[in-house]
Structure formats: structure tokens, C-alpha cells
A and B are shown apart, each in its own frame.
Chain A
Amino acid sequence: MNVLTVLFSAATFAATLRMAVPLLFVALGGVLTKRAGIENIGLEGLMLIGCFSGFAANYFTSNWIVGILAAMAVTVLFALLFGLFVVQIRSHEIVAGTAMNVMGSALTTYLLRSMFGVKGSFTDERVRTIPNISLPVIKDIPVLGTVLSGQSILFWVSLAATAIIIFMLYRTKLGFYIRAAGENEKALASAGVNVKKVRYIALIMHGMLIGLGGIYLSTGYLTQYVEDMTAGRGFIAMAAYAFGMARPGRTFFAVLLFAFVQALSSRLQIFGVPSYFADMIPYAITILVLAVTSYREMKRERV
């Protein structure tokens, strides 16, 4: 068996897309707030909250749609709590974001134990998995069928979300306001627009997207809740939008790249190659790209 044919097989690409879904949702959420002038380093915590709350709602109702909606609603609530501090009180956003991360991890672990009496991981037959979509015709095409057919509904939702956000951000008034809130908030305010309101709207969409990313993990990718199951994906998503300069299109490709690295690394483990170096890649590339772009900007400003 040739190593390369295993690594670059249709299965690897299918895995790439599966791993890209949660990253894409969360990174897009980060793009929106970043463009609106808010840096939320609490993506990881919010994602975990969505992951848990949606799973719990799904457990109590045995309905995956309720699970998705609950994940979105609860994550929006916490995003607004973050907004209360950052937008209203004008708190230090790094500190408030850290609070979200600590809160997300602590609250979900606490509730897992007090609500379900378990530690570690939890699964139950009452929980319904979000269905996958098998594409007619396409599924019989060799490579393409393996890659595209059988992906979760949320995979297609994430693609639609990307398109909608690109359209919203660059073609609508709201998108213009959001970008202005990030670039020149005073100009926006003097044009008579309520900057706080724009930021809250961005935060609501931010929460919805992150909730989707979270719920995909616990009832799409797996049908199981595991303590701290986001496992740094919130930070990889942050790396992705930092890499993508908070542009949705570029962020989309960054997500695909990072997901591909992850898929490749889990394949490489079959051959006994440790995954630790692959785990570092998204962070390392992001630091490198940030350093290069910041350096260029600095030079440009000096000229």
C-alpha cells in the first residue's frame, strides 16, 4: 500500500470537510465581530457552551432540530453577556474573552456532573444525530461521491452561511455598518448610526454561528458529549480568521487548509507518525503570517 495514495485519498478529503465544518462556523463568527471592532478570544468557551446546551436539549426532546436551535439560542445569550461587558461597559475585551473561556469550560463540566451525574463523557440513545445527506447521482461518481455525499446537513449550512456572510458583509447596508463599526466607529456614529446596536447585531450572528459549530461536534460529528470536547478548535478558528485577515473568503480557505492538516495528521497516525507537530501547524503558520503582514503594514505606514 502506497503511503501517498492513503494520504491523498478521497477519504482524507471527506474527513477534511467534516473537520472544516465546526471551524468554519466559529471562524465566520469571529470574522463578524472582528469586523465590527470586537476581538473575542472567548470563542472556545462559547463553542463549548453551544456544544453542551444543544446536546442537553436534544437529550430532553430527542429532536435534533431543537438541539440545534437551543445551541444557537444559548450561545447567543452568552455572546450577549460578553457584549454587555465589552460593548456596554467597555471592559477590556481580552479579559472578558478569557472569562468566557473559563466560564464555558467550568459551567459545562459542572452541569454535566450536576445534571447527568457523569464525569468525562456522556451519551444516550435518546440523543438524535443530525442527519447526513446522501446525494443522488453524485454519490455514484467515484471520488466526488465519497467526498461530498454523506456529509452532515450542517456541512451544507456552513457553505450557505459563508456565502450569506460574504453577501451580507459586502453588499448590504448592515454589512457596511458592521465594517464601519470596526474601521471608524466615530464616523459611523456621526452619520447617525447607533454603533452599539450594530455591534450587538454582529454579536447575535456571532453567537448563532458559534452555536452551530458547537452543536455539530456533539450531535453531528459524534453523538456524544465529552468534557472540553472543543479541544482547542475555538483557538484554531481564531487562528483561521487571523490568518484570513478577517475576510470571509480568505478565512474559508484558511479553514480548509487547517482542516486538511488535521485530516492528514490523523491519517499519518496510522503510520505511527505522532500528531503533535501537525497540531502545532495552524498556530505556527498563523504567527508567521501575522508577523509578515504586520511587518508589511508597518513598512507601508512609515513610507
Chain B
Amino acid sequence: MKKRLIIPITSLLALLAAFGIGALIILANGDSPVQAYGALLRGAFGSPRGIASTLSSATPLIFTGLGVAVAFKAGMANIGAEGQLYMGGMAAAVVALFVPAPSIILIPLSLLAAFVIGGLYGAIPAVLKVKTNTNEVVTTLMLNYIAKSFTSFLVNYPLKAPGSPLGQTNNILDAAKLPILFKGSRFNIGFIVAVLAAVAVAVMYRRSVMGYEMRVQGENKLFASYVGIDVNKRLTQGMFIGGGLAGLGGAVLVMGIQYKFVQGISPGYGFDGLTIALMAAFNAIAVIPIAILFGALRSGGLTMEMNTAVPSELGVVIQAVVILFMAARAPLSKKVSDYLDYRSTRRETGKTPPDPLKKAEEGGAV
């Protein structure tokens, strides 16, 4: 077994196990897992329309997954993607509501606004970490709620659509709506932008000095500062880009799905982004298929609910189990990889090195 296979194999195992646990829950509910999962699959991939809806659900998830991945690679445990999404989505909405311009200008401008505002919001915890050594876990988490309350205020007061009973803005200008790729659905060019963004992130890590240094300082700050990398700058840049990507997730919700900013616009896409980024082991390209899978859980869940007695929330339960397994993966796969090292050392040298399992017990892992 090769070491590089550990991540895909464990991801697959975690997924299978989670669906297994989901099946048990369905059985406990008195339904047939085969029927329920069949309906889920049919709903998500069974028709062109289903596929379009799966891909449109996946679009914001690709962005938040990328946003979390970039931040983690820069060494920031970013659990603030939800808040960055809200701020970015609001920025896109404001531009898309009030700037009278043709699509060719308005769409990029709205996306840019989302990226910059999401990025600046993401940079706050980075600056706090760099300047005051404040732990980013608590700050990113708290900033989620500030962003939610702030945007709720805006859509209920200054930006409220007149006469609407709900907290929401007016519809955005037609020119700002993302062009639809499949008639009769909301599958739009946002998906293509998301895929391009993933490619851009991958290229950034391979080809640019900024990407390289960002990654190196994320892995080992001490080493990075020895070789002359400006650690603080790269960390802040990483959080800015991560926040910006999550902000774009908000923009595609506003400009491609809702056509307005609705209070509580995201049902936890930012937290889904964390799961996706972890499963992808922070690899930008791997984010895409995993986000599609999560999109399928959401869009297929509705079909499952209509055709069987199983509530669509089962998809989220499965997701929670996947996250738990992902939490266990890093330490467990470290043990596996240590064991593989141990075996190959023994084979090559004929000597027996210290038992890695005992060592891992004492050392602990990420």
C-alpha cells in the first residue's frame, strides 16, 4: 500500500461508514435504506435536471471549501467561513442592487466586491493573531455571529424590500443575475467560476512565490522565518484569500440562486466548507468532487423526503458522522503511515526500529 493512497482510501471508508450509520437510522425509523438511498441517488443524479440542481447546490460549497482550505494551509484554523460568506454575499448584493451597469461589468464588479469584503472580514482574525497573538478559533467563530446579526439588521432596516414581511432586500438588477446554464434550473455560470477558482488556487500554490511561501509558513513557522519568509504577511494574505473565496460563496447565493439577500441566507455552508476542506485534505482540486457529493446530499435529500418517510435532515446527520470520522483520520492515518515506514525500514535494513504504535500513543497528533 502506498502512503499517498491513505487520504482517498480513508475518505471513502469514512463516507461508507457514515452511510452505513445512516442506514441504521433509517431502519430504526422503520423505512428501507435501499429505497431511501435509491431515491436520494435518483434525485441527485437520475436526471439532467437533478444533476443541474446538484451542481448548483455544490457551487457555494466549492467556494467555502476552498476558502477554508486556503486558510488552513496558511496555518489558520478558520471556522469563520460562514461569516465571511455573509459579508461577501451582502457586498455582492449591494453592488448588484445599486450599480446600473451592463452584465459584463456588473457581474465581475459584484463578485469582486464579495471577494474583497469577504477577504477583509477574514483578515480581521489574521491581523488579531499577528498583532496580539489572539487565538483565531474563538475570533473566527464569534465573527460569524456578528456578520449574521449585522446583515440581518441591514435586510430588516436600511435595505429592506418595501412591503415584504420577511427580512430581505429587493431583487437585484437583472444585469447582475448569473447566466443560467441549464434551462428550468438555477444551475449557472457560478459553477464554472468556482471550478476556475479551484484551479487558480492550485496554480497559486505551484507556480507563485506567494502561494509557496504561504504554504511553507503554514506548515512550519520557525523554518519559514529562518529562510526569510515574512510569516505575518503571508498568513494575513492566506486569510484574505480564504475569506474572499468564502465571500464568493455568498455572492453566488445572492446572484445565482436567491436573486436577493435574504436574512439567514446560508444554512451552514461555511461549516460544510470545513468538512469539505478536511475531506479534501486541503487540496483545492479535490474540493470540487467532494463539494458535488455534499451538494448531492442536499438536493437528493429533498427527493428522498418526497418519496419515502425519511426526513431530508438525514443527509445532514450523515454529514455530521463524516466530520467525526474526518476528525479521527489525521491521528489514525498518522499511525498507519508510521506503521508503513516501520515495515519498510524493517524490510530494507533487517533491523527492528522502535514500535511506532507505542510512539504515536505518547506523542499525539493533529
Show the binding face of A for B, using Cβ within 8 Å.
39, 41, 81, 85, 89-92, 94-96, 98-99, 101-103, 105-107, 109-110, 113-114, 232, 235, 238-239, 242, 274, 276-277, 279-280, 283-284, 286-287, 290-292, 294-295, 297-298
Contacts and interface: CB of A to CB of B under 8 A. Distances in A.
Nearest to A278: B149
A298 B133 contact: yes
Given A90-B364, A114-B29, A287-B142, A106 B317 contact: yes
Given A106-B317, A106-B320, A91 B328 contact: yes
Query: Dominant SS at the B interface?
Result: helix
A89 B335 CA distance: 11
Contact of B317 (A103, A274, A295): A103
B313 A235 contact: no
A110 B313 contact: yes
A236 B221 CA distance: 32
B360 to A, nearest CB: 9
A102 B311 CA distance: 16
Nearest to B133: A298
B330 A109 contact: no
Given A95-B278, A102-B323, A276 B331 contact: no
Contacts of A295: 131-134
B227 interface: no
B328 A102 contact: no
A276 B330 CA distance: 39
Contact of B143 (A85, A242, A287): A287
19 contacts: A39-B137, A85-B324, A90-B364, A95-B278, A98-B275, A98-B323, A99-B321, A102-B275, A103-B321, A106-B320, A235-B141, A235-B142, A242-B138, A274-B156, A274-B157, A291-B128, A291-B132, A295-B134, A298-B133
Contacts of A109: 311, 313, 316
B79 interface: yes
B327 A294 contact: no
Contacts of A92: 327, 330, 366
B223 interface: no
A279 B145 contact: yes
Contacts of B286: none
Nearest to B360: A90
Contact of B326 (A95, A101, A232, A284): A95
Given A85-B327, A96-B327, A280-B149, 7 more contacts: A101-B271, A102-B319, A103-B320, A113-B311, A276-B149, A291-B134, A295-B131
A66 to B, nearest CB: 22
Interface residues of B, number: 50
B15 to A, nearest CB: 14
A109 B141 CA distance: 23
Contacts of B142: 235, 239, 283-284, 286-287
A280 B86 CA distance: 15
Interface string B327-366: 1101110000000000000000000000000000000111
A85 B323 CA distance: 11
Nearest to A284: B146
Of B145, B313, B331, most buried by chain A (CB within 10 Å of CB) is B313
Nearest to B267: A105
B220 interface: no
B79 A99 contact: no
B6 interface: no
A290 B138 contact: yes
Contact of A106 (B128, B137, B149, B313): B313
A99 B25 CA distance: 17
B79 A94 contact: yes
B79 A41 contact: yes
Give 8 nearest A-B pairs by CB, closest first.
A106-B316, A103-B320, A276-B153, A99-B323, A91-B327, A295-B132, A283-B142, A95-B327
B316 A290 contact: no
